[in-house]
Structure 1
């Protein structure tokens, strides 16, 4: 388990639809103890196991094992031999459904018994957002299952069953802003009714990762709920201002050309932003700094896009390309499909799971490198520490990162939740 909160109070949480663990990471950094992470994707679940192993090895002063694994000096099987089963078993790889929930509940109850936990303080998570997203709806006509019939629309009902069973004092339900308008607002209305029906008061506010110090414009709906008649409320999250720009995330990373890989930090010192926010420590081992190969046509387009951005922040319109560089038949929508990461701005556009398909929407701002961003660069934009290792093939790593809640944002949310719980406990003691 990670280090506990200093002082008298010690809170724990369950993470549902955990993905790669962005929400969990923020809550752990804020001092909360994870009871369990529930995630259906096997690669994301492996990432969660690796991160749980990291915290165990850190607490038991065996970090040399972790660094040997990251450097490829030992296999994953050898690495996991150092990790007790009760640590890795906190990650439950299950597809959530009415049929699987009894098994998941049984596993969580067993974990709580092992750790002698009597109650759950907080439940966090958010069902997969594709069924609610505006982009997803725009593409629904090309899908085998129409968006309105997507079963993911109703996963909030399973979330509500966890609330009913464990009765946490508070919960955090994060999702895309499109959740309020999905199916003409019907899902949003039913979701609120279900969450209230199991004994909670709720409030929902749009939050932007940028206000939590993340160098990214990432708007999300954050629902917070609390047990009725407890006096708890939606936290006032602290705004974290920074003068950093996106390029500050890249200065200590090696330059790469398309198709190259280099997991050695550059000789340039990391920026103040990277150090102060715990993204890099002096002990870290660099991983996942490898980039896609690109054909000459795409490299030419990337260079044009970067030149335009450097010339007064202009954006490349696909229709303005020379005919020999155009391959897409669709000339009416997604004309900004080639987009440069805003390196000299205080935040860049939203990191998306679409990075797994291609990197055209996330071109590195350095024209000398003329490539798309790496997994590690995407992780840094999302505020993941360099010690955070994503398992699976590169496509899965990009999906995990693109779907995650930025840990720095999650930490700010967790600190707000802690303040509310702490204040209530202090009032009870008086």
Structure 2
């Protein structure tokens, strides 16, 4: 099975499909840093497939540069990552680049199996609308699904997978979702909308999302019920943290560190901890003394009393935010003894107050690697910045906006027999 990935981000959705045995044709993404992440992931998969993974390990150890890493990868593979915004004048160029990849891979347009991906979600998210003065009305991102439909029309895949936030159902009182359905039907596709929770797919995170499965209206598929999936094995968040070296605020290394202990069952079965021994991007943010005082209160409240902090209950000297009515849970521990964490969102790039490590002796927020694990990214995933050196802000943003690869993998698996029945 092959696919085109639109609005690819850092490739979380794509990586799940690759793990399930699908082959990417192209990834299209406008963010430059995310495109470097995608290229580095292309390098990983190529080197692994050609039994040359030692080159990738050398990159994680900082023995070779990114440019040197890419020198081992065929140009046509690297050029399958298209760094352009979808829409407007870019579309013709994107189509040309996709057609080049189809030719190189000997795939005709009529043999494209899938289009996957979902437009940026800020315009549909409840939080995004609440923070916008006009509720995101007039935001051009509201209409990126129109561009998605144009790619369906051009490449006529057998099916598509469209991921987005739960707020899509309520945005403009459901008008956008209704308009999507009508537009997709006009392009020759029927759809079914599923509301899924990542923790039901064995991701240790509370993350509700919309998954729209679309199919060409010339066949009737037997779709799996994604809402009925229950794959959680009873694991807890501590499984994602306990093999990592303890850090204090401001400590750690981008490339690389050794693990503190062997992986547990969950890390092995989920594919998060692989055979590579190089641990990267385990660097803790520096924090102010005031923040660290608050963090200790937050962690103590949860670990000893199973209580969350209400911001207004802090000592007066620690309350510096003028808004005392909204976001009173702005400081929150990632509870080790829970089966899943709070939702990881792109705001983690701004500060870590909502993602405090549960070990009070470390007294810090999560590292990039810990946040990536909550999203079920494998440890072999390296999140790039625009420059050679990894950017913590860029990495957090990519992680917060991603689809959990483990959830994507399970969706890809159950869709495979449906696709095979129509090829």
Scaled to the shorter chain, the TM-score interval is over 0.9
Q: Distance in 2 between matches of 1:113 and 1:267?
A: 47
Alignment match, 1:418: 416
**1:235 pairs with one of 224, 228, 243:** 224
Q: Could you tell me how far apart the structure 2 residues matched to 1:26 and 1:266 are? A: 25
Does the CA contact (< 8 Å) of 1:287 and 1:389 recur in 2?
A: yes
Once the two structures are TM-superposed, the CA of residue 241 in structure 1 deviates from its matched residue by 2.5
Q: Quick one: distance in 2 between partners of 1:362 and 1:127?
A: 26
CA distance in 1, matches of 2:124, 2:99: 31
| Aligned residues of 2:276 and 2:380 also touching (Cα < 8 A) | no
Of the three residues 348, 370, 392, the one matched with 1:394 is 392
Instruction: Give the aligned length.
Output: 412
Which of 401, 404, 412 lines up with 2:402 in the alignment? 404
Matched, 1:377 2:382: no
- Aligned equivalent of 1:249: 240
Q: Structure 2: how far apart are the matches of 1:253 and 1:178? A: 35
How many Å apart are 1:233 and its aligned residue?
Answer: 4.1
- The alignment partner of 2:218 has SS state of coil
Decide which moves more: 103-112 or 274-283.
274-283
Once the two structures are TM-superposed, the CA of residue 232 in structure 1 deviates from its matched residue by 1.3
Which of 45, 56, 64 is 1:55 aligned to? 45
- Structure 2, unmatched stretches of 5+, are 386-390
Q: Deviations over 1:326-372 (max 9, x none)?
A: 11000000000000002111111101100000000000111111100
SS of corresponding position for 2:305: coil
- Report what 1:4 is aligned to: none
CA distance in 1, matches of 2:243, 2:148: 41
Q: Does the 8 Å contact 2:191/2:215 carry over to 1?
A: yes
Q: Distance in 2 between matches of 1:219 and 1:13?
A: 24
Q: Please give the alpha-carbon distance, in whole angstroms, between the structure 2 residues aligned to 1:177 and 1:55.
A: 32
Kindly state the Cα deviation for residue 270 of structure 1 after the two structures are TM-superposed.
1.1
Corresponding residue number in structure 1 for 2:388 = none
Instruction: Quote the offset at 1:411 in angstroms.
Output: 0.4
What residue number does 2:21 align with? 31
Task: Tell me: CA distance 1:188–1:267, structure 2 relative to 1, closer, same or farther (3 Å).
Answer: closer
Cross-structure match for 1:5: none
Q: Verify the 8 A CA contact 2:29 2:85 in the aligned structure 1.
A: yes
The reply to whether residue 350 of structure 1 matches residue 343 of structure 2 is yes
Q: CA deviation at 1:277?
A: 1.1
SS at 2:195's partner residue?
strand
Structure 1, gaps ≥5 residues long = 1-10, 426-430
**Alpha-carbon distance between aligned partners in 2 of 1:284 and 1:164, rounded to the nearest angstrom:** 45
The question of whether the paired residues in 2 share the 8 Å contact of 1:133 and 1:177 is answered with yes
TM-score with structure 1 setting the length: 0.94
- TM-score, reference length from structure 2: 0.95
SS state of the match for residue 287, structure 1? strand
CA distance in 2: counterparts of 1:282 and 1:225, whole angstroms: 36
SS of 2:283's equivalent?
A: coil
CA deviations 1:143-195 (Å, max 9, x no partner) are xx861011000000000001001111110000001011112222111111111
Runs of 4+ in structure 1 deviating by more than 3 angstroms, as ranges, are: none
The answer for the alignment partner of 2:149 in structure 1 is 160
User: CA-atom RMSD, angstroms?
Assistant: 1.2
Partners of 1:265 and 1:290 in 2: CA distance: 13
- Is the Cα contact below 8 Å between 2:2 and 2:114 reproduced in 1? yes
How far did residue 204 of structure 1 move? 0.2
